[in-house]
Chains A and B, each alone.
Chain A
Amino acid sequence: MEKEKKSWPPYAPGTHVKESDIREKKLTYTWWEPEVQYSWSLGHAMSKFIQGLKTGKIYGIHCKRCKRVIVPPRMFCEYCFGPTDEWVELKDTGVIETFSISYLDPDARRIEEPILVGVVSIDGASPKHGFMHYFGEMTKDEIKIGMKVKAVWKPENEREGSITDIKYFKPLKGGDD
């Protein structure tokens, strides 16, 4: 039984409407604002990491079996599925693994001054282990993959126990420690 080989899909059902139709109330719609609030417990690993940031330190954790120092720290190693071992205090310097120059804010609105953001691997941890953060004190033409950087911390009394206790990472010039 050979079915007629016409072109599929034969038509595209659906009615295209524009954003303006919605704003100008040409369409019937209903609106709802849910109350959505969470308070996640952080567990041991994240709590220690966050408390460390408050005191101006970056902590990693050691997995003996895999012989790696992991940051951000976690209570178990995802490679060997075993519990991780002792805490390791890391340096607050690192290397830019990748970056982006963003002209968008979190709600996709346009901004004039670009934000420099990227992934920085932390010295003292195993290679390529790090986290995302901002970059500062460099222009969009200066930022490069492989650049050495150092954390710029908020003053101690302003730190609250958050990744933002580090303001950004700046270029590490020779002589800085």
Chain B
Amino acid sequence: MKEVAVIGAGMTLFRRHLKETGKELSFMATKMAMEDAGIQKDDIDMVVMGSAPDAFDGIHMKGENLIDGSAATGKPYVRVFNGGGTGVFAPIAGWWHVASGVADVCLVVAEEKMGNVYPHPQTAFRHIWDPVLDRPLNPNLVWLFAMEMNRYMTVHNIKKEDIALVAVKNKRNAVGHPCAQLADPNITVDDVLNSEIMAWPVQRLDVSPPSDGAAALIFCNKDIVHKFTDDPIYVAGTGWSIDSTMWTNRDLYFPRYVAQAAKMAYKKAGIINPPKEIDFAEPYDPFDYKELHHMEGLLLCKKGEAPILTREGVTQRDGDMPICPSGGLLGVGNPIAATMGQKVCELYWQLAGKAGKRQIPGDPRVGVGQAWGDIMQMATVMVLRRG
């Protein structure tokens, strides 16, 4: 196995609607990543695209449509897809392209244009449900998360105030992120608790918005990384795991698939005591309670302990275990696959000391990013380490 380093990353603006087409967004993100790495199109051996449901863009086989924007014309190009987990899974696929020795330099692009579908991106989500058991009941996607949130809150007896703290933290963290859609320096817990109830217990400010956006990442083989940087950031471990389609047969209070994926990644990274050995984390936070849910899934704290740590300020940027220093999905936006920008690109920028206003103080050396997808099933985890 070859060791793999990250040498460049890029990200576009995230907004509910962007003027650019999917190709153009991929191009902009790719161009920025190539500038960061200092490479040309010919230096790239293979390309991986991560993009979530075709129904958003309105293009079947949309991976094919995005080839030119992803610098992949005339190159080996493949698209991978795990629903929401794609944000970290596309980099994992890019990682195995290089780790296997088949490619020396691999570009990973993640693109999303959720705004194309009418009347609302929710409409595309009508088709994730089982056609026999769920669809005839006309479900709305938010119901799913509301049910999981309810179970989590009930089992651990968590109050909404503690969960709302996550939304406040992330939206404030996002201030200063140039791509952020929902950064708000003044938001308070009361704002969140007074926001419109969508499907109890989920309220409007608990949710991250649909967005358009793209992100890109470049991996290279350890043998040649000296050409690009003296201080390489390596992929220390990767893990992914999927749970059963039959989500109604699972107890939703704990994401066991996240724990499985995390264990796999930590084992490869040689991490035995995650809370001590990991300096910061970017768990997937499309809803505020998900950050807590995933913190526990990532074994960064005990079950039920995440809200306590949040309340005590441990997860703030200057705390002992910064969580979502980028602002996460709640602050920056949620273009499904392009959340790679917050979950993996951010790890790289933080470890390389390039995160500007978002930089975590101290000397972070190990970060973990995680994404979550499908129908509360898929967990993808990547650990990056400096040097």
**Contacts known (A8-B9, A105-B138); A119 close to B147, Cβ less than 8 A:** yes
Task: Kindly identify which residue among A5, A13, A98, A101 contacts B28, using a CB–CB cutoff of 8 Å.
Answer: A13
Shortest Cβ distance from residue B111 to the other chain A in the assembled complex, whole angstroms: 12
With both beta carbons as reference points, the residue of chain B lying nearest to A164 in the complex is identified as: B136
**Contacts known (A1-B229, A117-B137); A12 close to B248, Cβ less than 8 A:** no
In angstroms, Cα B117 to Cα A107, docked, is 12
Q: Interface readout for B138-155 with A: 1 if CB under 8 Å, 0 if not?
A: 111011001110110010
| A176 proximity list for chain B (CB < 8 A) | none
A152 interface residue, CB < 8 Å from B? Answer: no
| A8 x B355 contact (CB < 8 A) | yes
Interface size on A, residues (CB 8 A): 61
A50 interface residue, CB < 8 Å from B? Answer: yes
With both beta carbons as reference points, the residue of chain A lying nearest to B245 in the complex is identified as: A78
A162 interface residue, CB < 8 Å from B? Answer: yes
Task: Kindly identify which residue among B19, B120, B252 contacts A107, using a CB–CB cutoff of 8 Å.
Answer: B120
> Which of B10-18, B84-92, B100-108, B282-290 participates in binding chain A?
B10-18
B123 interface residue, CB < 8 Å from A? Answer: yes
With both beta carbons as reference points, the residue of chain A lying nearest to B131 in the complex is identified as: A40
**Contacts known (A13-B28, A15-B19); A133 close to B137, Cβ less than 8 A:** yes
| A106 x B198 contact (CB < 8 A) | no
| B10 x A9 contact (CB < 8 A) | yes
Q: Interface readout for A113-128 with B: 1 if CB under 8 Å, 0 if not?
A: 0100111000000001
Task: Kindly identify which residue among A15, A34, A104, A119 contacts B142, using a CB–CB cutoff of 8 Å.
Answer: A104
- Name, among A27, A40, A98, the residue most crowded by chain B CB atoms within 10 Å (CB to CB): A98
Shortest Cβ distance from residue A113 to the other chain B in the assembled complex, whole angstroms: 13
**Contacts known (A14-B25, A99-B150); A163 close to B137, Cβ less than 8 A:** yes
| B199 x A104 contact (CB < 8 A) | yes
B20 interface residue, CB < 8 Å from A? Answer: yes
Q: Interface readout for A99-113 with B: 1 if CB under 8 Å, 0 if not?
A: 111111111100000
| B200 x A14 contact (CB < 8 A) | no
In angstroms, Cα B61 to Cα A78, docked, is 29
Task: Kindly identify which residue among A3, A46, A108 contacts B120, using a CB–CB cutoff of 8 Å.
Answer: A108
In angstroms, Cα B115 to Cα A16, docked, is 12
B272 interface residue, CB < 8 Å from A? Answer: no
**Contacts known (A70-B249, A108-B122); A100 close to B134, Cβ less than 8 A:** no
In angstroms, Cα B61 to Cα A79, docked, is 32
| A19 proximity list for chain B (CB < 8 A) | 16-17
In angstroms, Cα B248 to Cα A74, docked, is 14
**Contacts known (A9-B179, A16-B15, A128-B251); A106 close to B151, Cβ less than 8 A:** no
Q: Interface readout for A135-160 with B: 1 if CB under 8 Å, 0 if not?
A: 00000100001000000000000000
Considering the complex, which residues of chain B in the window 205-250 have a beta carbon less than 8 Å from any beta carbon of chain A?
212-213, 229-230, 244, 246, 248-250
A129 interface residue, CB < 8 Å from B? Answer: yes
With both beta carbons as reference points, the residue of chain B lying nearest to A166 in the complex is identified as: B137
Interface size on B, residues (CB 8 A): 68
B275 interface residue, CB < 8 Å from A? Answer: no
In angstroms, Cα B38 to Cα A101, docked, is 52
Considering the complex, which residues of chain B in the window 94-138 have a beta carbon less than 8 Å from any beta carbon of chain A?
119-120, 122-123, 126, 131-134, 136-138
**Contacts known (A8-B355, A14-B25); A119 close to B137, Cβ less than 8 A:** no
| A132 x B25 contact (CB < 8 A) | no
**Contacts known (A13-B13, A15-B19); A98 close to B199, Cβ less than 8 A:** no
Shortest Cβ distance from residue B336 to the other chain A in the assembled complex, whole angstroms: 16
**Contacts known (A46-B132, A103-B199); A5 close to B147, Cβ less than 8 A:** no
| A70 proximity list for chain B (CB < 8 A) | 249
| B151 proximity list for chain A (CB < 8 A) | 97-98, 145
| A8 x B356 contact (CB < 8 A) | yes
| B29 proximity list for chain A (CB < 8 A) | 13
B280 interface residue, CB < 8 Å from A? Answer: no
> Which of B63-71, B73-81, B160-168, B346-354 participates in binding chain A?
B346-354
- Name, among B139, B200, B251, the residue most crowded by chain A CB atoms within 10 Å (CB to CB): B200
| A164 x B137 contact (CB < 8 A) | yes
| A17 x B199 contact (CB < 8 A) | no
Task: Kindly identify which residue among A18, A42, A119 contacts B248, using a CB–CB cutoff of 8 Å.
Answer: A119
A22 interface residue, CB < 8 Å from B? Answer: yes
Question: What are 17 A-B interface contacts by the 8 Å CB criterion?
Answer: A2-B230, A3-B38, A7-B357, A10-B32, A10-B178, A16-B17, A21-B17, A40-B131, A42-B132, A72-B246, A78-B246, A101-B197, A104-B142, A104-B198, A106-B139, A114-B200, A140-B200
- Top 9 A-B residue pairs of the complex, sorted by shortest distance between their CB atoms: A7-B356, A14-B13, A100-B146, A102-B199, A101-B200, A12-B178, A15-B19, A12-B13, A13-B28
What is B's interface to A at a CB cutoff of 8 Å? 9-20, 25, 28-29, 32, 36, 38, 58, 119-120, 122-123, 126, 131-134, 136-140, 142-143, 146-148, 150-151, 154, 178-179, 196-202, 212-213, 229-230, 244, 246, 248-252, 349, 352-357
Known contacts A8-B36, A16-B17, A101-B146; 9 additional CB pairs below 8 A are A12-B178, A14-B212, A32-B58, A108-B120, A108-B122, A129-B249, A132-B248, A163-B132, A163-B133
